[in-house]
Amino acid sequence: MSSEPLLRLENVGKRFGGLTVLDQLSFSVHGGEIVGLVGPNGSGKTTTINVISGVHQADVGRVIFEGHEIQRLPSFRIAHRGINRSFQVPKCFREMSVRENVEVAATFANRGEVEIDGILEQVGLTSQADIQAGSLTVNQQKMLDLGRALATNPRILLVDEIGAGLNPAELGGIASLLTSLAARGIALIVVEHLLDFLNRITNRVIVLGAGRLLFEGPLKEASQDPEVVAAFIGG
Amino acid sequence: MRKSIPSLRGPAIVLAVLAFVFLMAPEFYTNHSVLLTMMTFMGLAQGLNLLYGFTGYLPFGYVGFFGTGAYATSLLVTFTGLPILVCVLGGGLAAALIALILGPLLRLSGAYFSIANLAASQIIYFIVANEDLKSITGGPYGIKIEQVYAPHASYLTMLALLLVVTALAAYFRLSRFGLGLKAMNQDPVSAAFAGVNVVRERLIVWLVSAAMAGMIGGTYAWDLSVFYPSAVFTLQISVFAIVFALFGGVGTVIGPLLGAAVLYMLYDGIGVSAPQYFELIYGALIVGLVLFLPNGLMSLLTRRRINVL
Ligand SMILES: Nc1ncnc2c1ncn2[C@@H]1O[C@H](COP(=O)(O)OP(=O)(O)OP(=O)(O)O)[C@@H](O)[C@H]1O
Ligand SMILES: [Mg+2]
User: Which residues of chain A approach chain B closer than 8 Å at the C-beta?
Assistant: 53, 55, 74-76, 79-80, 84-85, 87, 91-96, 100, 103-111, 116, 145, 148-149, 151-152
Predicted confidence at residue A234, as pLDDT, reads 62
Q: What is the CATH number of the domain that holds A37?
A: 3.40.50.300
Looking at the complex, report in whole angstroms how far the Cα of residue B183 sits from the nearest Cα belonging to chain A: 6
Mean pLDDT of chain B: 93
Neighbours of A130 (CB within 10 A): 9
Which string of DSSP letters, residue by residue, matches A112-131? ----HHHHHHHTT-GGGTTS
Predicted confidence at residue A235, as pLDDT, reads 46
Q: Return all residues near B241 (Cβ < 8 A) that are at least 6 apart.
A: B41, B44, B45, B47, B48, B62, B63, B260
Q: Residues lining ligand 1, judged by CB closer than 6 Å?
A: A 16, 21, 39, 41-47, 88
Q: Considering its fold, how many domains does chain A have in total? A: 1
Looking at the complex, report in whole angstroms how far the Cα of residue B103 sits from the nearest Cα belonging to chain A: 18
d(CA B137, CA B130): 8
* Cβ-nearest to A75 among B2, B179, B192: B192
Number of H helices, E strands in chain B: 15, 2
Tell me whether residue A39 is in a domain: yes
Residue A225: which domain range? 1-81+203-235
Tell me whether residue A179 is in a domain: no
pLDDT digits (tens, 9 = 90+) for A66-93: 999 999 999 999 999 999 999 999 999 9
Closest of A232, A225, A216 to residue A9, by C-alpha: A216
User: Which residues of chain B approach chain A closer than 8 Å at the C-beta?
Assistant: 1-2, 176, 179-180, 182-183, 186-187, 189-199
pTM: 0.91
Residue A2 clears pLDDT 60, i.e. is over it? no
Residue of chain A nearest B178, judged by CA positions = A104
Tell me whether residue A75 is in a domain: yes
d(CA B273, CA B161): 30
Query: Do the Cβ atoms of A94 and B186 come within 8 Å?
Result: yes
What's the CA-to-centroid distance between B17 and ligand 1, angstroms? 55
Looking at the complex, report in whole angstroms how far the Cα of residue A111 sits from the nearest Cα belonging to chain B: 10
Looking at the complex, report in whole angstroms how far the Cα of residue A105 sits from the nearest Cα belonging to chain B: 4
Return the SS3 of A187. Answer: strand
Write down the ipTM of this complex. Answer: 0.94
Question: Quick one: what percent of chain A has pLDDT higher than 90?
Answer: 85
pLDDT along chain B (309 residues), means of 10: 64 96 95 96 98 96 98 97 97 98 95 96 96 92 96 98 98 95 96 97 98 98 97 95 94 96 88 77 82 86 80
Query: Do the Cβ atoms of A104 and B179 come within 8 Å?
Result: yes
Q: Return all residues near B105 (Cβ < 8 A) that are at least 6 apart.
A: B113, B116, B117, B120
d(CA B197, CA B181): 10
Residue of chain B nearest A147, judged by CA positions = B194
Mean pLDDT of chain A: 94
Determine contact, residues A14/A24, Cβ cutoff 8 Å.
no
Query: Do the Cβ atoms of B186 and A116 come within 8 Å?
Result: no
Which 8-state DSSP code applies to residue A14? E
Tell me whether residue A219 is in a domain: yes
Determine contact, residues A34/A199, Cβ cutoff 8 Å.
no
The protein residue whose alpha carbon is closest to atom 19 in ligand 1 is A42
Burial of residue B302, with CB atoms counted within 10 A of its CB: 0-12 exposed, 13-18 middle, 19 or more buried? middle
Comparison of pLDDT for B291 and A189, the residue scoring more: A189
Tell me whether residue A127 is in a domain: no
d(CA A105, CA A98): 12
Query: Do the Cβ atoms of B195 and A116 come within 8 Å?
Result: no
> Dihedral of CA A47/A49/A51/A54: which sign?
negative
* Cβ-nearest to B1 among A103, A148, A149: A103
Task: Return the amino acid letter for B207.
Answer: L
